[in-house]
A and B are shown apart, each in its own frame.
Chain A
Amino acid sequence: MFNQDLIHIIPILFLIATGLLLMMLDAFKVRSVLPLIAGIGFVGTAVLALPLQEGMDVQQLAFNKMIFTGGLASLVTILLSVSGLFTLFFLSDFLKRQEKPIYDIYALLVFAVVGMILLANANDLIVTFIGLETMSICLYIMAALFKRDLKSNEAGLKYFLLGAFATGFFIYGIALIYGGAGSTNYSSMDFARLQESGLLLPGMGLILIGFLFKVSAFPFHAWTPDVYSGSPTPLAGFMATGSKAAAFIAFGIFLNKTLPDVVVNEKIYNVIGVIALLTMIYGNVVAVQQKSLKRMLAYSSIAHSGYVLLALCAGPEGLMAAVFYMFIYTLMNIGAFGMIGMAELKDQDADLDGWKGLGMRNPWFGAAMSIFLFSLAGIPPLAGFMSKYFVFISAIHAKYTLLAILGIITSVAGAFYYIRVIVSMFFQTTEKPVEVKTSNIYPTIGVGILAALLLLFGLYPAAFTSQLDHLFVLADYFTQATP
């Protein structure tokens, strides 16, 4: 029984072992191999999560029904490992150019991904909480990584204080749900009792606040721009993708596990739908006014949270759309943040002014950045279009037609600020231009792979989505998992 459980979580165990090894190598000053080892760790985790073994392609529960393994859980594990892996491509070069010799970050990155995997694969609110905290504590340290830099300090402190506060809401919500349902496990919650007790709405509301904070949805978004612009740029990309993906998937599982059995679900979905709409409008409108590229992308990530929240209103089909969206979003946003980091000088903020004419001076750089930005704007034939399509179609299937139409309109308005960067890069000039001077080849390789993947998934989405359908059908999250 124990051994079977351990076999199920081999990907997580492998990643934890990698993290411990990284800590030891750093302590004994064997530092040149750290990025390589971390990369092997992420690739190994993704490979181990592939459904190679018999029966691993079906969603199962392990450890007394506490965590999901196989099926969709494997897919999510791969998604999060990929987000860690591509961050790695940009990280070592960025730290070298900023003259900040920090080596603990590789172990931190690995442990953050461990927390994300636990968070996204949890079938128990306590495991969700442990995953959330493991992830968040690593992210707080990442935000404050440059400890002599005031902006980085500010980012870390703001993120930590607000995050700790949101965690308080979250754990109090868990306590109320536990009081009503008699269990923290989705498989053994007594929903009838929860409904009678009157603790359902307060508990649900508090847990919702915790999740909405983590995904930076509209009324709880205020930390996002400051934290992302103060954090080291590649790590800001990691925060915007990996941590949001994990939080969204945990959120989706929570909604799909608890709401079908309770009567008030219509109300809660409407609330989330309205929050999604406000998030989309706010993110897209405020992003237009930003001069700093990092702040612009931070507001754009708020807008993208709105799209995914809209998908989460659409039940199981929406969860699939959300997972697909987060996968594509991870690829394009890590690429965009990474490229901003590539053009960032020491002690200087990435400003739109400096980027004028960059595409003419460095055509390959301009072309790759244009791919990421067009994809973020959701312009076909890039993958960003496919992911938006799935989100809006799932919302329409769930009879949220009006929200979907308004969402599409905000998305069109949002295309403006992405395209403005492209226009600046190719059609304008400036006196103080920035230069791209990478210290090694890895960022270029990372950008190449990411841009190629976005083109591939945009041009031949069937190659990917048929596999995804296959996995999802086998996974059948909501029937298989409850024996």
Chain B
Amino acid sequence: MEEFGPIGEYLPLIILIIIAGAVAFLLTGASRVLGPLRPNKIKESAYESGMDPVGTAHERFSIKFYLVAMLFILFDIEIVFMYPWAVQYKELEAAYGSFPLVEMLVFVAILFVGYIYILKKGGLDWD
């Protein structure tokens, strides 16, 4: 990429941004042109089936939102740990045999214990 000057290294990135932008415009445009348009008040709101974003911020809402959000973040972050493992898996297997696989299974098992715990404790019940 050196022939493109100092910007050259970023060329693939720029192409990616252009393609991603084009795809996004294409898809939203296509659904607007091709799809049936039957708007109603709820569909028009900023967060469909969420909370009304306009109005006073001092409104009371259920503390259960926090619990669900917290549990979601917890498991979401835990799953992130699997990405580097999956990317490196071939090299790990070559170096240590089946040990990395067992290691990840143990990790998932511990997560599963946590999942059963919140399920049984009623952490996922809304009422």
Contact = CB atoms under 8 A, between A and B. Distances in A.
B99 interface: yes
A102 interface: no
Interface string A1-32: 01000000000000000001001101110000
B120 A27 contact: yes
A20 B99 CA distance: 22
A2 B95 CA distance: 11
A288 B113 CA distance: 48
Given A2-B96, A2-B99, A28 B120 contact: yes
Contacts of A27: 116-117, 119-121
Contacts of A24: 113, 116-117
B110 interface: yes
A26 B118 CA distance: 11
Contacts of B96: 2
Of the four ranges (under 10, 10 to 19, 20 to 34, 35 or more), the interface on chain A belongs to: under 10
Nearest to A1: B96
Contacts of B99: 2
A134 to B, nearest CB: 14
A422 to B, nearest CB: 45
Contacts of B119: 27
A240 B113 CA distance: 30
Question: Could you tell me the dominant secondary structure of chain A's interface residues?
Answer: helix
Contacts of A23: 113-114, 117
A23 B116 CA distance: 9
B113 A20 contact: yes
A2 B98 CA distance: 12
Contacts of A2: 96, 99
Contacts of B113: 20, 23-24
Among the interface residues B110, B116, B117, which one has the most CB atoms of the partner chain A within 10 A? B117
Contacts of A20: 110, 113
B31 to A, nearest CB: 45
Contacts of B121: 27
Contacts of B110: 20
Interface in B13-51: none
A157 to B, nearest CB: 15
B119 to A, nearest CB: 8
A28 B119 CA distance: 11
B26 to A, nearest CB: 44
B95 to A, nearest CB: 10
Contacts of B120: 27-28
Contacts of B116: 24, 27
A26 B113 CA distance: 12
B76 to A, nearest CB: 19
A24 B116 CA distance: 8
Interface in A223-248: none
Nearest to B99: A2
B19 to A, nearest CB: 38
Contacts of B117: 23-24, 26-27
A24 B114 CA distance: 9
A473 B31 CA distance: 77
Contacts of A26: 117
A164 to B, nearest CB: 16
A159 to B, nearest CB: 19
A133 to B, nearest CB: 14
A20 B116 CA distance: 11
B99 to A, nearest CB: 6
17 contacts: A2-B96, A2-B99, A20-B110, A20-B113, A23-B113, A23-B114, A23-B117, A24-B113, A24-B116, A24-B117, A26-B117, A27-B116, A27-B117, A27-B119, A27-B120, A27-B121, A28-B120
Nearest first, the 8 closest Cβ-Cβ pairs linking A and B are A27-B120, A27-B117, A23-B117, A20-B113, A2-B99, A27-B116, A23-B113, A24-B113
Interface of B: 96, 99, 110, 113-114, 116-117, 119-121
Interface of A: 2, 20, 23-24, 26-28
Given A23-B114, A27-B117, A28-B120, 14 more contacts: A2-B96, A2-B99, A20-B110, A20-B113, A23-B113, A23-B117, A24-B113, A24-B116, A24-B117, A26-B117, A27-B116, A27-B119, A27-B120, A27-B121
